A = this chain, B = another copy of it.
Amino acid sequence: MSAPIAYHPGKQPIPRNAWYVVAFSREITQKPLSRRLLGDKVVLYRTENGQIVALADYCAHRAMPLSAGTVKGDCIQCPYHGLEYDPAGKCANIPSQPQIPRLMKVRSYPTVERWKWVWAWFGEPERADPSLIPDHSEFGMDNTDFWSVDRFVMSIGGSYQLLHENLLDLSHVTFLHAGSFDSGAMASAPQSTQVEGRLISITREVTEVVGAAYGRIFSLEEGIRVRRTLRSRTWVPSLNVVTSTFHFLDEPGRPAAVRHSVFPITPDTATTCHYFVGTAHSYGEPAAGDVLKAQNQVLFDVFLADKTAIEAIQQAYDELGAATPDCSVRADEAALKFRRLLDGMIGEEAGSLAVA
């Protein structure tokens, strides 16, 4: 058997044969956008016909960022000496000569636009099967029984691994977000963990009274009693969905309320990541305008605590390496399964098959 890969956020390779969200749809226009994704610098643009293009953000000629250039029809033109590239990354024009060298091309990444965001594939292009993207309708997106909204992307100065582990240990809700997402009982509620392929699920159930901040965040009335199931699911390596289902204990006729928080997590570099946030709701009114802005601000501020924690822990790994403290408790069962599944993907991509 191959030796297990030592856990080290920020030092392990990133699985590339997987779909990752790279942007909200609204972010991609004819003004090129440069974004670092899985360590690669990528330029994203929309052609005049509306197609989304993702290319390596280095001109094949002299490595100038194409993102500093201009979209012309389907192509993007390099600002330095004017070479143009088509959506497949092939050079389509060289101003100073008619012939185009065969090697004058840049890498093109497969993309899929789904719901309100864009997924891209950074691995072997022939394996880029769109059916591998988890079902959006199941999360309330593209589902007419729900209203859904794209919220914001937060830049986090820590590995995507640390963010996934954060979302797979719900005990942190009680402490790091005291009062914001629960009423104090979540950490001590029993947690059950399931694994199915690359999907890890954890569930906790509490009966609690909705507090003020918590009620504001979930659009629930302060002071009501609820039985609540909190479920966090991670599709390794790029998506987490947290689902809260509320049963109203004092109102037998009131339908259960469901809220999905859909969190694509995309490595920027090995030690930084993009944290995309969208939500879908079975209850309440669709939010827009200033109401949406205010909701987003509240959520963003609460998530800053996660950002701060993850960045501090990343800094510990960067400084201490293998000596970084990492003593697990029972609530870490899901996080440890995450590491194992990730190790499996990394090992598979490295061609290192486990042999008994």
Which chain B residues border A131 with CB–CB below 8 Å? Answer: none
Decide: B95 and A58 in contact? CB cutoff 8 A: no
Q: Known interface pairs A175-B80, A175-B82, A320-B58. Does A309 touch B95 (Cβ–Cβ under 8 Å)?
A: no
Copies of chain A in the complex: 3
A93 to chain B, nearest CB (A): 11
Decide: A329 and B101 in contact? CB cutoff 8 A: yes
Interface string of A151-185 (1 = CB under 8 A from B): 00000000000000100010110111000000000
Decide: A313 and B62 in contact? CB cutoff 8 A: yes
Which chain B residues border A68 with CB–CB below 8 Å? Answer: 308-309, 312
Asked if A197 CB lies within 8 Å of chain B CBs, one says no
Asked if A327 CB lies within 8 Å of chain B CBs, one says yes
Which chain B residues border A59 with CB–CB below 8 Å? Answer: 325
Asked if A194 CB lies within 8 Å of chain B CBs, one says no
Asked if A187 CB lies within 8 Å of chain B CBs, one says yes
Complex alpha-carbon distance, A175 and B81, angstroms: 6
Asked if A254 CB lies within 8 Å of chain B CBs, one says no
Decide: A61 and B97 in contact? CB cutoff 8 A: no
Task: List chain A positions with a Cβ less than 8 A from chain B.
Answer: 41, 58-65, 68, 77-82, 94-97, 101, 103-104, 106, 165, 169, 171-172, 174-176, 187-188, 191, 308-309, 312-313, 316-317, 319-320, 324-331
